[in-house]
Amino acid sequence: MSDVGRIDFKAMAERARRMQGELAQVQEDLAAIQATGYGDGGLVTATVSAEGRILDLRFDSSVIDPDDPERLSRLVIEAIEEANQGIAEQRTQRFSGVAADIGGMLEGLNGSALGTVRPKAPQGLSAVEARRRERTAQ
Cα distance between residue 112 and residue 110, in whole Å:
6
- Residue-range domains of the chain with CATH: 9-137 (3.30.1310.10)
Q: Mind listing the pLDDT tens digit of every residue in the chain (138 residues)?
A: 455 567 788 888 888 888 888 888 878 888 889 999 999 999 999 999 998 999 999 999 999 999 999 999 999 999 999 999 999 998 888 777 767 767 766 665 555 444 444 445 455 555 556 666 666 665
Q: Is 52 left (phi over 0), alpha (psi -120 to 50) or beta?
A: left
Q: Is the pTM of this model over 0.75?
A: no
- Quick one: which H or E segment has residue 2? none
Which residue from 41, 14, 37, 31 is spatially nearest to 101, judged by alpha carbons?
14
